[in-house]
Structure 1
Amino acid sequence: MTAQERMIHEDALPGHESRLQPKPDWMPRYPGSGRLAGKVALITGADSGIGRAVAALYAREGADVGIVYLCEHDDARKTVEIVEAEGRTGIAIAGDVGDKAFCETAVDQVIARFGRLDIVVNNAGEQHPDKDIRDITEDQLRRTFQTNIFGMFFLVQAARPHLKKGAAIVNCTSVTMYQGSKELLDYSSTKGAITAFTRSLSENLVGEGIRVNAVAPGPIWTPLNPMGGASPEKLEHFGESTPMGRPGQPNEVAPSFLFLACEDASYMSGQILHPNGGSIING
């Protein structure tokens, strides 16, 4: 058993939405208006949580979707069904985004099926709570960075030959990048790297007509936290510290990903949106 397989077995991450109660709210709130008509999106971590909500909203707005996920096959099938119910095509691609070869394979499958790639959403991520920095094992540290930031590099490298003028990349960072998190030292560190990656990649690609932005969610009700990504003490009061006094739902975050992917955001690159329940941060 590899270190990654052992950690998945031990902590149940990233977790099955099909087993979560109450269920997160992924349903788009409004009729579509064709803002992504004819587009093809590849979304990592799209089997559940924020990724599923983004896939549902993109499909409602006219996009076909490549759904990349790790091992939650039941959740991935459900997301494909959601995309198809919106009249679009979804394909599920299972594998580890921290593996460069897999990212190349995932992009190849999207191109083989749809013939193009217009939007890359780097959403997949993992977190492991530790109250003492000494409890963070080398395997955990390497794996968190491998998934959360190395995977973004690998996927963009694989997608880059197919991204033309007008394409968009949207990364998922976190409020923890700005506020810090005493129990998520390694996770918060990767989110800082993602924000820097977003701003730097924007500078790198903006001249090619490719926009790069990010979304920094606050506490959102997804399988990640209740299935091992947060301590029991934190989970008991999850989201209560926000000004709104509650956690957010995935369909309250997905519109930020839609805005940054469509032509409504044609004059935005290198920027971060903050659906976080009203927390004021310098972003």
Structure 2
Amino acid sequence: MAAKVSKVQEDRLPGHESRLEPKPDWEPRYPGSDRLKGKVAIVTGADSGIGRAVAALYAREGAKVAVLYLCEHDDAKETARIVKAEGSEALTIAGDIGDKAFCEDAVGKVMKAFGRIDILVNNAGEQHPDKDITDITDKQLRRTFQTNVFGMFYLTQAARPHLKKGAAIINCTSVTMYQGSGELLDYSATKGAITAFTRSLSENLVGEGIRVNAVAPGPIWTPLNPCGGASAEKLEHFGESTPMGRPGQPSEVAPSFLFLACEDASYMSGQVLHPNGGVIVNG
């Protein structure tokens, strides 16, 4: 993998999957079995990477998908095409989840288009590498928490009135929450907050019949790292430190999001799944 990786220079995150080489593998591996038939899902960051793979798999399993993304219109259009090719319906909504008003507006658009919300996937996030804590600017620190933590709160708050018994919320945390990361101090801190939020929100909503869980991916080949989210040194050997010796693909992470969204996980809440290449973590 390392020999094939080329860093994509972007003015800002999240970056275009359409420009990434090699292309991430997002395609579902198996035929659908209607595990999400009749459901409506909101997936943030669904224009590319893990979000696209989740949107594709959810669509194959029968869900209509609202694709929330920041600004990569070409990638979002492709995700919508993928969802429709699976025989489902897609709604693309561009904007910043770190803006509370946008989250409220987006949920309103989903309700107008589909009339319900059954699954909320808080997947969108950003990261910026810094080798020294003194290099993290106030602007970067606030921006990382605004996207990764505040955005998760804002969207969940907006969706909450529409989530009924049987609904599922799945948040994306990270292996860095458990292992730490020497060059992702602010990002890792947000992922710790997300795990705590997941467990606390589960306690808050479990009595309402709403399950809240999380997925903690390891190093996954998406635009996030090569488009500014990782140093050149890290990219050179991206994923090689895992027991499996390679980075994962979005298609290897999406099934965790499917399991937690469907009735197969009806007795699970407040839990975290770890598609991370064999890294042993506690929690």
Give the TM interval when normalised to the shorter protein.
Answer: over 0.9
Give the aligned residue type for 2:46: A
Give the aligned residue type for 1:245: G
Any unmatched runs of 5+ in structure 2? 1-8
Give the aligned residue type for 1:197: F
Residue of structure 1 in register with 2:29 after alignment? 29
CA contact (8 A) 2:77 2:92 kept: yes
- Post-superposition shift, 1:12? 2.4
Residue of structure 1 in register with 2:222 after alignment? 222
In structure 2, distance between residues paired with 1:10 and 1:219: 20
Residue of structure 2 in register with 1:115 after alignment? 115
**Deviation sequence 1:148-204 (CA, Å, 0-9, x none):** 010010001000000000000000000000000000000000000000000000000
Residue of structure 2 in register with 1:148 after alignment? 148
In structure 2, distance between residues paired with 1:254 and 1:163: 22
In structure 1, distance between residues paired with 2:79 and 2:24: 13
Give the aligned residue type for 2:58: Y
- Determine whether 1:12 maps to 2:29: no
Residue of structure 2 in register with 1:237 after alignment? 237
- Post-superposition shift, 1:118? 0.2
Q: What SS is found at the alignment partner of 1:280?
A: coil
- Post-superposition shift, 1:10? 7.0
In structure 2, distance between residues paired with 1:69 and 1:276: 24
Residue of structure 1 in register with 2:256 after alignment? 256
Give the aligned residue type for 2:204: N
Q: Superposition pairs for residues 1-283 of structure 1, below 5 Å?
A: 11-283=11-283
- Post-superposition shift, 1:11? 4.4
Q: Please identify runs of 4+ aligned residues in structure 1 that moved more than 2 A.
A: 9-12
Give the aligned residue type for 2:187: Y
In structure 1, distance between residues paired with 2:84 and 2:167: 23
Give the aligned residue type for 1:202: S
How many aligned residue pairs are there?
275
Q: What SS is found at the alignment partner of 1:153?
A: helix
Give the aligned residue type for 1:151: G
Q: What SS is found at the alignment partner of 1:68?
A: strand
Q: TM-score under structure 2 normalisation?
A: 0.96
Give the aligned residue type for 1:214: A
In structure 2, distance between residues paired with 1:107 and 1:66: 9
Deviates more, 1:197-206 or 1:12-21: 12-21
CA contact (8 A) 2:26 2:249 kept: yes
Give the aligned residue type for 1:65: V
In structure 2, distance between residues paired with 1:152 and 1:186: 16
Any unmatched runs of 5+ in structure 1? 1-8
**Deviation sequence 1:17-75 (CA, Å, 0-9, x none):** 00000000000000000000000000000000000000000000000000000000000
Q: TM-score under structure 1 normalisation?
A: 0.96
